[in-house]
């Protein structure tokens, strides 16, 4: 029976899928990967005859995603949502899909040890690296890492799985692969290198030496707004394509990918599909993390507290729109090292993207995992302002917004479902403090987020304290209006 997706009202894979080779093993088959890297690779196959294909892997969770994908011959739909029209593409570059807990870890490790594998890429979110965001170093006391070190041949963490696969390749006399992080972290390749080599050294010093000599960890900057998939999303995709696709995903039309060109075993020619291959990704990463992700977090916390469910709802409030724009240009842009980019135009483009009514990007979704996001999105910029003796009222307000949010009660007295890997630490700080100044000091005491020095900076503490107390007194909407008026 012919796959119904091959009859969808969409751009279809007209290339011969049998000629594809699973040269990339990707860990983390989530919505973002489907809408981003997989699309670039699909364009290469469709328009340039590339034979680079994917073996998709989920290590923990996402069993249904892999089952849905396998059931439809590894095809899935990506719909681009603009205000006036939706268009769809059926992506065909996935050769196989595996789940470590369903198919077995051995099957996953065997796939990573196939001779043609040249790249292992990752979208596992910041918390998947088992590192301390404040330092970028591996947390040896992380439950997954501690368990893996006890049983390194049966790992569950992403660093553990990558190291075990590399150990097996080394033993088999196979060449190493490149390890490419596509997660939202500054110098994500360096973070992955740090955690991989630290873990490997704890397992086998000789293996760690081999990894350091033979494996590269290219950094990347990825950008595309991909809201969490809902039933409503899948209904809309079905209406435009004529086919129900449980593995489908919807995203904005904009996409950007900047990749450090540092691969040991070759790579696809992603530049032919619009990616930028560069020698140094860091300036681009910082631009995106601070201007886009930083303003996104600002809007997520302060928007959620004000009752705005989606980012585009925030954009309909002139004060939120103005505050986000001012945060980008007055407090984030001055901290950047990127050259040859019109940051004013970039900020205007971001506001336009946030205003897309079709996206429905939930503030609650962006607010997740704040402990992993604040250091690179806001705190690094704060440190720059302190060194340069400049004020940073909007960054302070964004941090105070996070503090109000993780308090767990919104401005109408309703419980907030706070999702964060440091939730127990955050809740201990909240529950062990009274509302007000005491609460701010308790949260600033979380070293894994704020480090040791920042909470000793009076200028920083005073700015966050002032913002927090204003939020408590006036509420988010009035506070954002007050700060926006001062810009």
For 256-313, what is each residue's pLDDT tens digit?
999 999 999 999 999 999 999 999 999 999 999 999 999 999 999 999 999 999 999 9
In three-state secondary structure terms, 23 is strand
Residue ranges, comma separated, of all CATH 3.40.50.720 domains in the chain are: 4-278
Q: Is the pLDDT of residue 1 over 80?
A: no
Query: Which among 65, 60, 6, 73 has a CA at the least distance from the CA of 32?
Result: 65
The sign of the dihedral angle between the CA atoms of 312, 317, 318, 322 is: negative
pLDDT-derived band at 186, boundaries 50, 70, 90: confident
| pLDDT score, position 133 | 86
- Please give the Cα distance from 471 to 476 (Å, whole number): 5
CB 55 within 8 A of CB 111: yes
40 close to 257: Cβ distance less than 8 angstroms: yes
Q: CATH assignment of 282-485?
A: 1.10.1040.10
Q: Which residues contact 285 (CB under 8 A, 6 or more apart)?
A: 185, 186, 187, 188, 219, 221, 258
Chain centroid to Cα 436, Å, comes to: 32
Q: What is the pLDDT of residue 161?
A: 98
Q: pTM of the full predicted structure?
A: 0.92
Q: pLDDT category, 351, cuts 50, 70, 90?
A: very high
Q: Are 38 and 22 in contact (CB under 8 A)?
A: no
d(CA 339, CA 332): 15
pLDDT digits (tens, 9 = 90+) for 379-411: 999 999 999 999 999 999 999 999 999 999 999
pLDDT band at 84 (very low <50, low <70, confident <90, very high): confident
Q: How many CB atoms lie within 10 A of CB 447?
A: 14
pLDDT-derived band at 236, boundaries 50, 70, 90: very high
- Complete DSSP assignment for 441-462: HHHHT-HHHHTTTGGG-HHHHH
Estimate the share of the chain in helix, then strand, then coil, as percent rounded to the nearest 5.
55, 15, 35
Give pLDDT, residue 135: 86
- Delimit the CATH 1.10.1040.10 region(s) of the chain: 282-485
**Over the stretch 312-334, which tens digit does the pLDDT of each residue have?**
999 999 999 999 999 999 999 99
Mean pLDDT of the chain: 97
Q: What is the DSSP string of 171-237?
A: HHTPPP-EEEE-SSSTTHHHHHHHHHHHHHHHH-HHHHHHHHHH-----EEEE---PPP-HHHHHHH
| Percent of the chain with pLDDT strictly greater than 90 | 97
CA distance 275 to 37: 10
- CATH among 3.30.365.10, 3.40.50.970, 3.40.50.720, 3.10.180.10 for 4-278: 3.40.50.720
pLDDT per residue as tens digits for the range 441-463:
999 999 999 999 999 999 999 99
In the predicted model, is pLDDT for residue 48 greater than 90? yes
Check residue 51 and give its pLDDT: 98
Question: Is pLDDT of 377 > 80?
Answer: yes
Percent residues over pLDDT 70 in the chain: 100
């Amino acid at each position: 029976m012919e796959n119904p997706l091959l009859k969808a009202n969409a751009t279809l894979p007209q290339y011969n899928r049998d000629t594809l080779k699973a040269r990339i093993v990707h860990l983390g088959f989530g919505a973002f990967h489907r809408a981003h890297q997989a699309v670039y690779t699909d364009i290469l196959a469709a328009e340039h005859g590339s034979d680079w294909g994917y073996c998709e892997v989920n290590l923990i969770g996402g069993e249904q995603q892999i089952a849905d994908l396998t059931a439809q011959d590894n095809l899935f739909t990506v719909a681009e949502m603009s205000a006036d029209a939706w268009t769809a593409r059926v992506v065909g570059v996935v050769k196989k899909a595996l789940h470590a807990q369903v198919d077995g870890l051995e099957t996953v490790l065997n796939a990573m040890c196939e001779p043609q594998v040249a790249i292992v890429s990752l979208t596992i979110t910041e918390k998947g690296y088992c590192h301390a965001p404040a330092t970028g170093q591996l947390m040896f006391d992380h439950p997954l890492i501690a368990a893996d070190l006890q049983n390194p041949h049966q790992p569950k963490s992403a660093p553990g799985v990558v190291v075990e696969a590399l150990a097996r390749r080394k033993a088999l006399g196979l060449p190493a692969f490149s390890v490419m992080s596509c997660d939202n972290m500054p110098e994500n390749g360096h973070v992955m290198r740090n955690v991989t080599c630290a873990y490997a050294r704890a397992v086998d010093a000789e293996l760690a030496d081999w990894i350091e000599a033979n494996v590269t960890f290219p950094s990347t900057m990825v950008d595309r707004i991909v809201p969490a998939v809902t039933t409503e999303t899948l209904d809309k995709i079905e209406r435009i394509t004529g086919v129900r696709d449980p593995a489908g995903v919807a995203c904005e039309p904009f996409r950007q990918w900047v990749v450090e060109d540092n691969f040991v075993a070759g790579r696809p020619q992603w530049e032919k599909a619009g990616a930028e291959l560069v020698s140094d990704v860091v300036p681009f990463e910082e631009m995106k993390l601070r201007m886009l992700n930083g303003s996104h977090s600002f809007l997520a916390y302060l928007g959620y507290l004000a009752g705005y469910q989606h980012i585009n709802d925030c954009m309909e409030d002139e004060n939120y729109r103005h505050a986000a724009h001012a945060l980008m240009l007055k407090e984030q842009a001055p901290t950047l090292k990127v050259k040859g980019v019109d940051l004013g135009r970039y900020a205007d483009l971001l506001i336009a993207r946030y205003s897309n009514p079709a996206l429905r990007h939930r503030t609650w979704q962006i607010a997740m995992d704040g402990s992993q996001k604040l250091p690179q999105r806001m705190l690094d910029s704060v440190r720059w302002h302190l060194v340069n003796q400049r004020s940073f009222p909007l960054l302070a307000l964004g941090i105070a917004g996070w503090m109000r949010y993780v308090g767990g009660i919104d401005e109408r007295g309703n419980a907030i479902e706070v999702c964060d890997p440091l939730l127990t630490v955050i809740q201990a700080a909240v529950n062990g403090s009274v509302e007000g100044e005491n609460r701010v000091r308790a949260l600033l005491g979380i070293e894994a987020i704020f480090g040791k020095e920042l909470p000793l900076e009076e200028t920083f503490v005073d700015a966050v304290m002032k913002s927090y107390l204003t939020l408590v007194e006036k509420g988010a909407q009035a506070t954002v209006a007050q700060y926006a008026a001062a810009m």
